[in-house]
Structure 1
Amino acid sequence: MHLQGVPDEIMCRAFPTTLKGPTRIWFSRLTPNSIGTFKELSAQFASHFIGGHMYKKSTACLMNIRQWEDKTLRSYIARFNKETLSIDEADGKRLVEVFTNGLRKGKFLFSLYKNDPKTMSEVLYRATKYMNVEDALLA
């Protein structure tokens, strides 16, 4: 909008259409006519929501993820993958080590140690095959 030379009034009116959830609630609670320019609106928005910024974590944070005794391999993989999304510059080999470290003792862990996988793709492929066999046996 800045590049097109759109006036502040229009930018201020268009801004709330992009908001959802808590940001929309924050905007609706602003005192009417309390903001004069889009720059003021931007500054207030940034100062209010700067604390909610998600900072990237290191691979060390994944060391706390474990496959619990009463949980399936599928649920462990889901939690692990969700956490890896917040990791900054995750090294593939390190991810394999951390993932393997969090597995509970059993046939799948033994198979990983037996044929050392090099990438997370390989681990997840083998895990999928293992889970499909488990599902077939349960059915």
Structure 2
Amino acid sequence: MDLNDGMTDPRHHLNNFKSRMYLANAFDATRCKAFSTILTKAAMKWFDMLPPKSVISFDDLSQKFLTRFSIQKDKAKHAPSLLGIKQEVGKTLRDYIEGFNKLCLEIQSLPTEVMIMGLVNGLKEGPFSQSISK
């Protein structure tokens, strides 16, 4: 499981953690103690700053975590986001394709035609972009 640094969607991270704890059949106290092992950076600093005995249950800890980091919730990505990704000068085609694919995976219900149009639109001028646009 990825560590949470306080910069990603806290609800997604919390749901992953809860699923793992459910499979482990962990008690409430165990979940509270184990939660800190998957935090890093700002999230760990926040956890360390919680006053002693200020958490009464894992649900309470979850709510505090969501309240503190809910502003970091991932923004939904849409097809027009593809227009913002370009193959930069000095970057390899492989780097561009990797970044483009990563963004495509974040977009729900992306039509193939839109994906192809975005891919071609972002290519830098050259023999490859000319041959693929034919």
Q: Same fold (TM over 0.5)?
A: yes
**Number of the residue aligned with 1:25:** 45
Residue segments in structure 2 that go unaligned for 5+ positions in a row: 1-20
Alpha-carbon distance between aligned partners in 1 of 2:80 and 2:54, rounded to the nearest angstrom: 45
Structure 1 residue corresponding to 2:63, chosen from 39, 43, 63: 43
Q: CA RMSD in A?
A: 2.4
Whichever of the two has the greater Rg, that structure is: 1
Structure 2 residue corresponding to 1:83, chosen from 103, 106, 110: 103
TM-score for both structures, normalised by structure 1: 0.67
Alpha-carbon distance between aligned partners in 1 of 2:74 and 2:48, rounded to the nearest angstrom: 24
Number of equivalent positions: 113
Cα distance per residue 1:59-93 (max 9 Å; x no partner)? 10110222234433233223322322332222222
TM-score for both structures, normalised by structure 2: 0.69
Cα distance per residue 1:25-48 (max 9 Å; x no partner)? 221111111122222111101111
Q: Percent identity?
A: 35
Alpha-carbon distance between aligned partners in 2 of 1:13 and 1:91, rounded to the nearest angstrom: 44
Report the residue type matching 2:35 in the other structure.
F
Shift of 1:54: 0.8
Report the residue type matching 2:59 in the other structure.
K
List 4+ stretches of structure 1 deviating above 6 A.
Answer: none
